[in-house]
Amino acid sequence: MPRRIVLLSGHVATGKSDVAAALDERFGVRLFKTREVIHQLKKVEPERGALQRAGEALDRETKGAWVATELRRFIDTMGPEGAESIVVVDAVRIRAQCDAVRRAYGSRVMHVHLTASKAVREERFGSREGEVQELASYDAVLENRTEQQADTLNDIADIVVNTERNTIADVVVRIASRIGLYGRGLDRTVDVLVGGQWGSEGKGNVVGYLAPEYDVLVRVGGPNAGHQVYQEPVPDTFYHLPSGTNRAPHTEIVLGPGATLEPVRLLEEINKAHLDPSRLRIDPHAMIIEPGDLAEEARRLTGSIGSTGQGVGAATARKVLRTGAKRKVRLAKDFPGLKPFLRPTLDVLDRAYAAGKRIFLEGTQGTGLSLHHGEYPYVTSRDTTVSGCLADAGIAPTRVRRIVMVSRSYPIRVQDPPGGTSGHMPIELDWKTVANRAGLDAAELKAREKTTTTKRDRRVAEFDWTLLRRAATLNGPTDIALSFTDHLDAANRAARRFDQLVPDTIQFVEEIERVAGAPVSLIVTRFDYRNIIDRRQW
């Protein structure tokens, strides 16, 4: 049994079929077209006058019950998967048809009647193109008695909408709101993950662990941040796609409007992950990185502040300027290869909210690199805090349930470029010191600690407690994920429970909780499949 049955009525050219099509595109409703039923039952040609006469004949023969009868057969063909569906009937024409459907389906039925002045209907009729052969004039349409009485349904409809004063999109919003397609409130179904330092905190690994618990995975940012997830024989690395794409194969994948895309690399990622348009949604307003953006960053930034030089900042600047005098701005909707995947993020999220689906938003880079809150100019080209990620994705703060902030035991920054710096770290170390403290092989550690995107060496420093507090203030985390605890002590690699961590590490965790004002709920001990101690209470 369908969750809802929406009856559409109104004169010819009031917009019924356009509304039905928009509901189908927006919400994936099931369309029941009475015109097609008349054609099948009476074997008439798809011509307006013939269809009108055949419909009236069916009304006389069944006292209007034929719509309800055929609707029942249509619903029966949907099977069990149609249990939670919405069926839109395009269209009902007399009261007896409406009454028969209401007797069959009761409170599941909602009747929407559309109106417009005769002058507007006549103008629309003159430009109609469709499968039905139209009559010579709108006056000829009105010669039909049933058509003349169409507005008598105004009195029994649940909603009456004047389509002169409402766009088709407006009508869809009003219908969707009435039947609860947007939900009945602002449920907190979104969890957010961000980095608490200067990036490379191990966010991808944490996301890969959490992703199977969610229905929708969202990522913003650009390919200047590569996120790794453990996989044999080599790790999965994601530059555009959410890090849980392969770990959670039944989730919807969303790239938000604030994302910046290098289309060739993105399509390679899509193919590698075997994604198709039924699963991947790319917002039409996401920005395209052009070859000139890479050249500009290579010339201006990589040698001075340690930028990854992936063109993200240059592309973002062009988007902000809106109209490039010399270089055209291209968005995702302007790149042909991405067309099958285009879908406004707000539409995807609205449906997810209404269905009570759990959504996971993955931020990129780290709070210390925020354009607004980092050590300018040694920052990235966007706000990397929770607020910035939510804005880039188009998610309201009131939707957020949990905020996970990832910090690593020894924060890192990319190696200083010749003649420049990638930014200050208060107490800088070398990898040999870290290795000696932890009982790790120094050469192996240094070889492993290279940036994911550019493969540059990383600088390392003592844990920055001031940065932790600043990041906690900016992000308001409900939970901390502490990564690379094996860098504190190699013995932590053997821990499977919190009490098995070495005592110094336990004390370190407790102090992080005091400074951040949030529990350390996830502890990463090594890089393999079973690498996280889960202390969550949610």
Sheet holding 216-219, edge to edge: 280-282, 252-255, 216-219, 359-362, 190-195, 400-408, 479-483, 520-524, 532-534
Q: What is the pLDDT of residue 299?
A: 64
| 221 contacts 247 by C-beta, under 8 angstroms | no
Omega within 30 of 0 (cis) for the link into 233: yes
Q: What is the pLDDT of residue 419?
A: 64
Q: What is the pLDDT of residue 307?
A: 60
CA separation for the pair 51, 41 (Å, rounded)? 11
Of the candidates 90, 65, 71, the one whose C-alpha atom is nearest the C-alpha of residue 6 is 90
Q: What is the pLDDT of residue 300?
A: 65
DSSP string, 53-74: HHHHHHHHHHTTTHHHHHHHHH
Q: What is the pLDDT of residue 108?
A: 93
Tell me the pTM: 0.84
Q: How many CA atoms lie within 13 A of 327 on its CB side?
A: 16
Q: What is the pLDDT of residue 110?
A: 95
Q: What is the pLDDT of residue 226?
A: 78
How many angstroms separate the first and last alpha carbons of the chain? 34
How does strand 30-33 pair with strand 520-524? unpaired
Q: What is the pLDDT of residue 376?
A: 92
The 10 Å Cβ neighbour count of residue 265 is: 14
CA separation for the pair 509, 481 (Å, rounded)? 10
The 10 Å Cβ neighbour count of residue 181 is: 22
| Amino acid residing at 160 | V
Q: What is the pLDDT of residue 161?
A: 94
The mean pLDDT values, 10 residues at a time, for the chain of 538 residues are 92 94 91 93 87 93 95 89 85 96 95 95 86 86 92 94 92 88 84 96 93 96 82 82 93 96 93 94 94 73 61 84 72 95 94 92 94 92 95 96 97 80 89 95 83 73 97 98 97 96 98 97 90 94
Question: Distances from the Cα of 342 to the Cαs of 118, 332, 501, in angstroms?
Answer: 37, 8, 46
| Amino acid residing at 375 | E
The 10 Å Cβ neighbour count of residue 324 is: 13
Q: What is the pLDDT of residue 434?
A: 95
Q: What is the pLDDT of residue 301?
A: 63
